[in-house]
Structures are given as C-alpha cells and as structure tokens.
Chains A and B, each alone.
Chain A
C-alpha cells in the first residue's frame, strides 16, 4: 500500500520569501515521488520527480525537492516565491511494483502576498 500526506492545506508566503511545502510518504517498496502543480481551472502539470537517481531533484520554475528516506519525506522548496507561483500543489507516489497508478495527497494551496 502507498500513501502521501501533505501537511498544511494552505501555505502563505510573501513574494521573495522561501517556499516550503511538506510531503511525507508511506510505501512498502521503494517509491517514486512526484510533485504536480495545478493552476486555477487547469489540469495538473508535472513539476519534478524522484526516481532514485539523485536525492535532490530540480524541477521547472525554480522548484526543487529532496528525498529523505530516513524521514520518509519529499518536501518541495523554492528559494524565492513569485506571485505566479500561487497555485495548488500535489505530492504523489507510485511504487516500483504494481500497476504504477499514482496516489495523490490532498494538495497544498500556495498563497503569495505582494
């Protein structure tokens, strides 16, 4: 079985501040982990993914995430928030065995203040 937990349904930051969105996973086999972004009234767009090649993963729009096995975490960060980063962010997990169907977290809404 696999699952993800996203801590905080809403995160509010000021423009230029650090963005930190938390994701913890549970998986009985080595996981593959993903972050997706959803802008209002749009579909999900892949930001980045962890596939065991490197624990620090860089994605689009300046985002990155670090896989920490000991903490079962895959938190998403960006050094400096931009107004255009305001969106819903979803963490997802698939496992190295099985049907590879992603399981998503509940999402975190990022609010960026000027």
Chain B
C-alpha cells in the first residue's frame, strides 16, 4: 500500500522556466493538499483540491501558481516563470473524503525546488 508519492524529489529550474510538481495520493484518497516549506517558516498551506475541483486556494500566490487534480492521474502544482523566491520544499498530503478534524494526514517526501 504505497503512501503519498511525489516526484520529482529534486527539481532545478532557471529563472523564467516552468516547474511542474506531481503528487499521487494514497489509494482511496480523493483529497489533496499542497504545502510549501521555507527555511525557518514551517509549512504554509497553499491549496486543497478534490478530483476536478479546487476547494480552497486561499494560500496560493495570485500569480504564476496554479494547481489541478484531474479525474485521472496525479495532482499537479504548476509554477510559471519561476523566481529565486520560489525555491522551497513543496509537500503534498492526501486524505479520504470521509476525514474529520482528527484525521492525521499522510505526507509525501516532498519536491525540493531550486531556482538558479
């Protein structure tokens, strides 16, 4: 029973390029959450998706960032025209649709984006 799978583990992009981060949830999970981790800042919520639907994107920057979770395939976090400030670790978590507030989320190993 595979956990939350993220790829790539490491991604290097030049300024101005696009970054695409993938997250495959645990089997049976249809909800995905993306977080960004900057040094000394902990994890910041970015976006919460169900399949084919964005539920909460209150933590997403207004420009250059987008996320999707199609009916088939992994969830994608897309960053267009990357800048050095986008360098961070991006983590994905998943949950079943029936989860309540006491649910302990399972996280992937993250994608570490470096913008050069």
Name A residues whose Cβ lies closer than 8 Å to a Cβ of B: 6, 9, 32, 34, 36, 41-46, 49, 51-52, 90, 94-107
Nearest chain B CB to A31 CB, angstrom units: 8
Please tell me if the beta carbons of B102 and A105 are within 8 angstroms of each other in the complex: no
Closest to B55 in A: A99
Tell me the minimal C-beta distance from B51 to chain A in angstroms.
16
CA distance A107 to B37 in the complex (A): 11
B79 interface residue, CB < 8 Å from A? Answer: no
Is B43 in contact with A104, judged by CB distance below 8 angstroms? yes
Residues of B within 8 A of A (CB): 4, 6, 33, 35, 40-45, 48, 55-56, 91, 99-110, 112
What is the count of residue pairs linking A and B with beta-carbon distances less than 8 angstroms? 60
Task: Give the docked Cα–Cα distance between A49 and B99 (Å).
Answer: 14
User: Complex: how many Å from CA A105 to CA B43?
Assistant: 7
Q: How far is B104's CA from A46's CA once the two chains are assembled, in angstroms?
A: 7
Q: Is the CB of B101 within 8 A of A106?
A: no
Beyond A101-B56, A106-B40, A106-B42, whether A46 also contacts B101 by CB under 8 A is: no
